Amino acid sequence: MAVGVCYPAGFAAAAAGAGMKPAGDDVALLVSDRPAAAAGVFTRNRVAAAPVLVSRAQIAGGSARAVVTNSGLANACTGRRGLDDAWSMVAATADALGLPAGQVLVASTGVIGRPLPIDDVTAAIAAAAGRLDPDGGAAAAEAIRTTDAFAKTAAIEVELSAGSVRIGGMAKGAGMIRPDMATTLAQITTDAAVAPDALSALLRAAIDVSFNAISVDGCTSTNDCVFALANGASGTTVAGEEDVQTFGRALTAVASDLARQVVRDGEGTTRVCTFTVTGAGDDRAARTAARAVAENVLVKCAMHGGDPNWGRIVQAVGGALPGPVPLALDVSIEGIQVCSAGAAIPHDEHALEAAVQGPELEYEVTLAGSGAETEVFFSDLSYEYVRVNAEYTT
């Protein structure tokens, strides 16, 4: 079945194993049957992995035919050898597919500071190239997993004025996830024809409200990158303001679907929360407040315990926003207002406690000032998160 990145026409994928993960395939190939406009968003972490440096250079031309991804090892902090290895992955993919090397993007995810078994990786690339399949989307999504509990794919069909186009995607990620950085690995494909500059602008806008508006643990990976490939195989071009907007909304929907799957799969996640901040006067303050709550370990522990301890929400917001004391803020949990202008107000404590036992929560904070509204989607902090991350490499 043509799922995920293979849902749009003209894309094929495959996976193979190079022994970097304890079990299962760990090398994925994604290939377009024709040159595709390409856009990318990369981690802002200064300890950027070798594949990030290579793909940033490769994507500058705005066009790509293939993406090669490995999981298990991050190829980060690997020095000159790491750069050589990333270029070897590009060259092996180009050779196996008969493509110019400039048409290949590369991504890695996994443990930092260990070299790739590059001969095994290039052999796996050759093996994957021999079994490329328009039904390979699921296998590719599976191969890019590390600690992910499940593979993440998304797909949508959207009607434009000149015809319908498809958008598909896959992502990996469960830990080392924080907003406002191009977060985790994701690859999004479309059979629409889109100019590279327009694709890049639409991708950035989509990431801004999807991958940049989630948090699992407030940690920014050295390897994050999101690629978008638009190959035009549908015969439909995205042009005209209305179609651009329609396509942009669909691209955002796919990115948001993938990003929310990453949070739901956050290591040890038992509950997720949609947190809305309104009225901060400016976007930046609203975002600062939203992130402060989404990344606050006390908030996340209370959420895990089904504890309506809203004092931790006000503590997180008050600690994050510079300015005069006192901070007048309203707080609601699951629609029950608990704090008005910075002071507790009477509320049904039993109803509140019952309301926070479910798997999906909504918190709202309203600050003084009008206009800005921002939303962040985050997970709780569980025993299981600690266990997974206390035992990751050893």
Report residue 169 as tokens: 């995607």
Instruction: Please give the residues from 148 up to 187 whose contact with its own copies meets the rule CB under 8 A.
Output: 175-176, 178, 181
Q: Does 346 bind its own copies (CB under 8 A)?
A: no
Phi, psi of 379 (to 5 degrees): -110, 170
| d(C-alpha 374, C-alpha 209), whole Å | 9
Instruction: Please give the residues from 77 up to 96 whose contact with its own copies meets the rule CB under 8 A.
Output: 77-80, 82
Report residue 337 as tokens: 């207002």
Minimum CB distance to its own copies smaller for 57 or for 101? 57
Q: Does 342 bind its own copies (CB under 8 A)?
A: yes
Q: Does 315 bind its own copies (CB under 8 A)?
A: yes
Segment contacting its own copies by CB under 8 A, of 126-134, 189-197, 273-281, 295-303: 295-303
Minimum CB distance to its own copies smaller for 63 or for 109? 109
Q: Does 355 bind its own copies (CB under 8 A)?
A: no
Q: Parallel, antiparallel, or unpaired: how do β-strands 336-340 and 152-160 relate?
A: unpaired
Site of tokens 């690859």: 187
The residue type of 336 is I
Which residue in 69, 183, 220, 252 is the catalytic one? 183
Among 65, 172, 260, 304, binds its own copies (CB under 8 A): 304
Q: Does 308 bind its own copies (CB under 8 A)?
A: yes
Report residue 32 as tokens: 């377009």
Kindly state the smallest distance separating residue 208's Cβ from its own copies, in Å.
18
Minimum CB distance to its own copies smaller for 98 or for 326? 326
Among 37, 132, 258, 317, binds its own copies (CB under 8 A): 317
The residue type of 322 is P
Instruction: Please give the residues from 200 up to 259 whose contact with its own copies meets the rule CB under 8 A.
Output: 217-222
Minimum CB distance to its own copies smaller for 278 or for 315? 315
Is 252 assigned a catalytic role?
no
Q: Does 124 bind its own copies (CB under 8 A)?
A: no
> Roughly what angle, to the nearest 10 degrees, separates helices 196-208 and 241-264?
40
Distant-in-sequence, close-in-space partners of 223: CB < 8 Å, separation ≥ 6: 43, 48, 49, 51, 52, 74, 75, 76, 107, 108, 109, 185
Kindly state the smallest distance separating residue 358's Cβ from its own copies, in Å.
15
Contact (CB, 8 A) for 221 and 45 = yes
Kindly state the smallest distance separating residue 98's Cβ from its own copies, in Å.
32
Site of tokens 């991958």: 211
Binding marks (x or -) toward its own copies, 22..61, rule CB under 8 A?
A: ----------------------xxxxx----x--------
Minimum CB distance to its own copies smaller for 4 or for 175? 175
Q: Does 12 bind its own copies (CB under 8 A)?
A: no
Minimum CB distance to its own copies smaller for 197 or for 282? 282
Contact (CB, 8 A) for 156 and 176 = no
Q: Which long-range contacts (CB under 8 A, 24 or more apart) does 294-301 make?
A: 294/179, 294/214, 294/215, 294/218, 294/376, 294/377, 294/378, 295/178, 295/215, 295/217, 295/218, 295/378, 297/381, 300/378, 300/379, 300/380, 300/381, 301/380, 301/381
Q: Does 314 bind its own copies (CB under 8 A)?
A: yes
* H or E segment and range at residue 78: none
Q: Does 369 bind its own copies (CB under 8 A)?
A: no
- Which residues are the active-site residues? 183
